[in-house]
């Protein structure tokens, strides 16, 4: 009997994680996959290019849902996903991370009594003002399988009374990084196009609502990056949300090397060759570590506490940094195969 996996994605980090797991699903007997793309990230440079570069199966269902407030977007996704689940009748719904697409997929599946597997379960910033934190908590409590990247994530779930179906599988983004780095080094021309040499620049990303929703906060982040740019160029692939916020709020991005969003191969090349990384993205914090590049997180907390304790990361308002040492939490690059094995062996339907 073949178990049908219905995977729901909508944003850049989810495409990267899903690429690794989809490869493992294709190589696991007894599993098939249907991909649903909510459309949350709709810019071709943040969506289509990832499917092409990472060999992700073409979505069978593309919902084209983006824009609007959190409730509006999540509600429209919920309405659109439910009939797909009724049509496809999957044995598992797999969701990733902490976006509105994650929450909508978990809610739609759980109301139809379809078991949910949450990849990257158990992360906590302990800041309930972050919409991503709400999405994480609710999704974890709706899921039958919590697939955790670290032992800290397992501990976080246990503190909330969630122990059944919890597994430390490692980090599927590490799998993806190992898969793509050599390819990016050989094929990406982004450094040449920008007139940059390896280890002569820093890379920055800004996209979270806490940094883009308030003028004073966005101004402070940009001024931090501009201060850093006095030492070396700071490359900023500009997220559409950040572009709109800067224009609307009159925040000048002068002094930064602003470029359009880039695909995964170009991003991997930029990460691998950067001197430092400045970001408010959870995924990019980890990717910096995977590429051996120190990171400064443009937030007041992080879900990836081991990057702080092991000296690869610090919060931007802190000056001290721990002694740098390897992190053994993320696995050996086989996390996606652990996920596929658990889906194959644990399908309750």
Q: Residue 215 sits in a domain of what CATH number?
A: 3.40.50.2000
Q: What domain range is 289 assigned to? A: 176-315
Cα–Cα distance between 187 and 250 in angstroms, integer?
37
Same domain, 126 and 10: yes
Q: What is the edge-to-edge ordering of all strands in the sheet holding 313-315?
A: 257-259, 234-237, 202-205, 276-279, 295-297, 313-315
> Could you give the residue numbers annotated as active site?
207
Query: What band does 301 get if pLDDT is binned at 50, 70 and 90?
Result: very high
Same domain, 186 and 309: yes
Same domain, 115 and 212: no
pLDDT digits 0-9 by tens, 194-229: 999 999 999 999 999 899 999 999 999 999 999 999
Same domain, 34 and 138: yes
Same domain, 100 and 210: no
Judge whether 321 lies within some domain.
Answer: no
pLDDT at 43: 61
339 neighbors 24 (Cβ within 8 angstroms): yes
pLDDT at 58: 86
Query: What band does 280 get if pLDDT is binned at 50, 70 and 90?
Result: very high
Backbone angles phi, psi at 280, to 5 degrees: -110, 10
pLDDT at 56: 83
Same domain, 41 and 141: yes
Cα–Cα distance between 265 and 13 in angstroms, integer?
13
Judge whether 207 lies within some domain.
Answer: yes
Q: Structure tokens of 70? A: 């959190």
Same domain, 248 and 145: no
Judge whether 320 lies within some domain.
Answer: no
Same domain, 41 and 161: yes
Cα–Cα distance between 342 and 120 in angstroms, integer?
14
The answer on pLDDT for 44 being more than 60 is no
Backbone angles phi, psi at 211, to 5 degrees: -100, -20
Closest listed residue to residue 160, CA positions, set 139, 141, 136, 132: 141
Q: Which residue has the tokens 């081991």?
A: 306
As for how many domains the chain has, the answer is: 2
232 neighbors 201 (Cβ within 8 angstroms): yes
pLDDT digits 0-9 by tens, 103-119: 999 999 999 999 999 99
Point out the least confidently predicted range of 33-42, 203-212, 239-248, 321-330.
33-42
Judge whether 323 lies within some domain.
Answer: no
pLDDT digits 0-9 by tens, 142-151: 999 999 999 9
Cα–Cα distance between 234 and 259 in angstroms, integer?
11
Query: What band does 309 get if pLDDT is binned at 50, 70 and 90?
Result: very high
């Amino acid at each position: 009997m073949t178990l049908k996996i219905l995977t729901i994605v909508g944003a850049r980090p989810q495409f990267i994680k899903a690429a690794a797991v989809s490869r493992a699903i294709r190589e696991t007997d007894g599993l098939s996959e249907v991909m649903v793309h909510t459309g949350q990230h709709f810019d071709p440079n943040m969506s289509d290019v990832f499917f092409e570069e990472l060999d992700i199966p073409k979505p069978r269902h593309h919902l084209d849902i983006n824009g609007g407030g959190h409730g509006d977007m999540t509600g429209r996704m919920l309405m659109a996903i439910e009939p797909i689940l009724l049509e496809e009748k999957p044995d598992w719904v797999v969701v990733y991370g902490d976006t509105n697409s994650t929450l909508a997929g978990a809610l739609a599946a759980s109301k139809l009594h379809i078991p949910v597997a949450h990849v990257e379960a158990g992360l906590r910033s302990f800041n309930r003002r972050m919409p991503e934190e709400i999405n994480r908590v609710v999704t974890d409590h709706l899921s039958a399988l919590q697939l955790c990247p670290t032992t800290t994530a397992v501990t976080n779930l246990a503190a909330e009374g969630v122990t059944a179906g919890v597994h430390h599988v490692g980090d599927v983004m590490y799998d993806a990084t190992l898969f793509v780095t050599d390819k990016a080094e050989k094929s990406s021309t982004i450094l040449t196009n920008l007139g940059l040499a390896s280890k002569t620049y820093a890379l920055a990303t800004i996209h979270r609502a806490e940094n883009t929703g308030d003028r004073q906060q966005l101004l402070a982040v940009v001024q931090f990056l501009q201060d850093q740019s006095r030492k070396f160029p700071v490359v900023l692939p500009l997220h559409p949300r950040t572009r709109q916020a800067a224009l609307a709020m009159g925040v000048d991005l002068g002094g930064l090397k602003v470029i359009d969003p880039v695909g995964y191969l170009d991003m991997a090349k930029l990460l691998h060759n950067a001197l430092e990384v400045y970001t408010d993205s959870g995924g990019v914090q980890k990717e910096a570590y995977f590429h051996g590049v120190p990171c400064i997180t443009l937030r007041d907390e992080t879900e990836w506490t081991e990057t702080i304790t092991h000296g690869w990361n610090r919060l931007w308002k802190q000056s001290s940094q721990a002694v740098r040492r390897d992190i053994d939490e993320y696995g050996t690059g086989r996390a996606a195969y652990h996920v596929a094995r658990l889906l194959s062996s644990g399908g309750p339907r």
